[in-house]
Structure 1
């Protein structure tokens, strides 16, 4: 548990007091979402609409990131483009967009952000006609909220040749405190390859991470202390990598005693230099919190097959972790617990909002929690933490 919370809760009685506080907050959240029942979404068609009135199926995302000026920015990947919405002013509630950012032949996308608030869009680009497909990894950067994005540039591919390059999957990305971009891509036969920038911003050669058991794109986390960590699902557990010093080579850590569902893992820095991973346990089917060197902690929930969202937030002076996922019924579920004390329980609430894909979380310019998801009709919908005590979500609105 963090020092801030530990100073205030040092006995079981004190934790009982915190439990009562969170339970009261969850009841308020449920009451708030019940008032939104009449506004629940129409049957799904999986499409979003851009400024031209064209409809697009959302291929990946969305992502919700804070811009350099405090405005939140939303990205959604559609066919041949990335749609971008930007808050009209910090804290909303109005939005500008969507802006249509070309992404020709980019079939899959991920977005990462550094502490300088630059957004790095990293994708898998496929080219080729009737012959073998050629795949390379490409990236673009948005430096300022609402401004044009850079041109797409190639990161290359750790596997050369048209036939072999198609075996490279969707990469993960992390941006260090110094602004260095790390790219980790799954390749054939369970291998992972790493490429990163050097101190001058030039790409170093691809590096084989010497593993042959990875089942999915890893979760990559850059910490406030300058380190990068990785966790990759494997058949018998979870594979980890760490750095002894910022900028050092990634080393294999101890395997973790839990088998993650591929595509479910999210890493969050829950205290300086310390990462907690949240994932769906294949064996138990529930959410698990795990930190390197510690036993996994089951925390309940009813997750579907998607990725978990995790956010560090201060709620009424308490350092907390906020979680969100799409449950087995297709609805957004939000959880709350003291930071790094998941063993005392995560309090879950079903928002009642149906969604497509995975919900995401962010803090707005005023430190309020924002939950964003693709609604059942394919539009983007979000709820923002109400003013006042507790984590009570306001009305869900469409952007």
Structure 2
């Protein structure tokens, strides 16, 4: 599973998917916007990786990937790659260290990219808090810093419309938040919430110039939307056990947030509602064929700014894709294997 959106639109309009596969990360890209897809390519040559990569994308369209790799026996280190354009080969994996200088894996990383195009990497450290490292403006990486926190679980990183990076973390007593106040500086601790999230359900999205919204499933199985400074809002019952994928788009002239989630029935469920207006309500509509257990979904916008969704069966590598029809509402075309 990839932490973050694994279906992205590049700066040339082509879509790319990033797919974990055994001891590697694969990428596939459209040969032309809306056209056929190339065969999977392995990122970084023969470099072996541990499962659980993270992906983030900057406003420049560049994708940043982070993963753990084995180093010496019983130890691992984080590595980073940049993918500038879908048809170009991503850069080789570059080591960026370990939050505790050395040791084994400490948690699944998260990555976000600030307005200056610098990647900020976050991962649980050996003390149960959050460690972070970031690219420098003129190349290289900052020293690792520790942001605090206790017994953190899943991390979700996001870049706000302001270009500042934010981080959310699931904790035993609620959700923690850090927010970058100055460009080039590590995020500082911000107000959290004592509502607890189910493991592995966090997904963050920039929803306005002022706010990012965190989507998560609470302990009662309700999908919640939360913006720091207010209380989480229960939006609707979660369609399935995993995280939602979310994208902001225009539907019939309205600014909407579209959510997608593999449902308990095995199909992909979609919901849409006016952005940041959770009281307006939302409901699920299922689409596509029944998928295998463990399938994941990601949504993005295509070259025309329309919703496109991909589902992946991690066991077989089967990739399915659908796009919004040119008709009212969120009607989708038939899913096609690519």
TM interval, short-chain normalised:
over 0.9
Whether the aligned pair in 1 keeps the contact of 2:310 and 2:320 (CA below 8 Å) is yes
Distance apart, 1:377 and its partner CA: 5.4
Counterparts of 2:227 and 2:265, CA distance in 1: 29
2:227 to 291, 296, 299: 291
Whether the aligned pair in 1 keeps the contact of 2:77 and 2:105 (CA below 8 Å) is no
Counterparts of 1:336 and 1:323, CA distance in 2: 6
**Partner of residue 300, structure 1:** 236
Distance apart, 1:183 and its partner CA: 0.5
Aligned residue-pair number: 332
Counterparts of 2:261 and 2:287, CA distance in 1: 11
Higher RCO, 1 vs 2 (CA within 8 Å, ≥6 residues apart): 1
Whether the aligned pair in 2 keeps the contact of 1:136 and 1:157 (CA below 8 Å) is yes
**Partner of residue 335, structure 2:** 396
**Partner of residue 96, structure 1:** 38
Whether the aligned pair in 2 keeps the contact of 1:105 and 1:127 (CA below 8 Å) is no
Whether the aligned pair in 1 keeps the contact of 2:31 and 2:87 (CA below 8 Å) is no
Task: Trace 1:276-355 onto structure 2 (pairs within 5 A).
Answer: 276-282=213-219, 284-355=220-291
Q: What is the CA deviation profile of residues 285-309 of structure 1, one whole-angstrom value per residue up to 9, with x for unaligned ones? A: 1100010011111111334332211
Distance apart, 1:198 and its partner CA: 2.3
The alignment's TM-score, normalised by the length of structure 2, stands at 0.93
Verify: 1:67 aligned to 2:13, yes or no. Answer: no
Counterparts of 2:242 and 2:300, CA distance in 1: 18
Distance apart, 1:249 and its partner CA: 3.7
Verify: 1:143 aligned to 2:91, yes or no. Answer: no
Cα distance change of structure 1 residues 238 and 337 upon mapping to structure 2, 3 Å threshold: same
Verify: 1:156 aligned to 2:94, yes or no. Answer: no
Q: What is the CA deviation profile of residues 51-79 of structure 1, one whole-angstrom value per residue up to 9, with x for unaligned ones? A: xxxxxxxx647811111211111121112
Q: What is the CA deviation profile of residues 4-61 of structure 1, one whole-angstrom value per residue up to 9, with x for unaligned ones? A: xxxxxxxxxxxxxxxxxxxxxxxxxxxxxxxxxxxxxxxxxxxxxxxxxxxxxxx647
Structure number with bigger Rg: 1
User: When you count helix as a share of all residues, which structure comes out higher?
Assistant: 1
**Partner of residue 369, structure 1:** 307
Cα distance change of structure 1 residues 166 and 377 upon mapping to structure 2, 3 Å threshold: closer
**Partner of residue 81, structure 1:** 24
**Partner of residue 108, structure 2:** 170
**Partner of residue 212, structure 2:** 275
Distance apart, 1:208 and its partner CA: 0.8
Counterparts of 1:80 and 1:246, CA distance in 2: 35
Whether the aligned pair in 1 keeps the contact of 2:246 and 2:260 (CA below 8 Å) is yes
What is the root-mean-square deviation of aligned Cα atoms in Å? Answer: 1.8
The alignment's TM-score, normalised by the length of structure 1, stands at 0.79
Q: Which runs of 5+ in 2 are unaligned?
A: none
Cα distance change of structure 1 residues 325 and 312 upon mapping to structure 2, 3 Å threshold: same
Whether the aligned pair in 1 keeps the contact of 2:55 and 2:63 (CA below 8 Å) is yes
Whether the aligned pair in 2 keeps the contact of 1:124 and 1:137 (CA below 8 Å) is yes
Cα distance change of structure 1 residues 103 and 389 upon mapping to structure 2, 3 Å threshold: farther
SS of residue in 2 equivalent to 1:343: helix
Q: What is the CA deviation profile of residues 109-139 of structure 1, one whole-angstrom value per residue up to 9, with x for unaligned ones? A: 11111111111111011234xxx41110001
Cα distance change of structure 1 residues 60 and 268 upon mapping to structure 2, 3 Å threshold: closer
Whether the aligned pair in 1 keeps the contact of 2:225 and 2:232 (CA below 8 Å) is yes
2:58 to 114, 131, 148: 114
Q: Which deviates the most, 59-68 or 312-321?
A: 59-68
Task: Trace 1:35-46 onto structure 2 (pairs within 5 A).
Answer: none
SS of residue in 1 equivalent to 2:305: coil
Counterparts of 2:246 and 2:100, CA distance in 1: 33
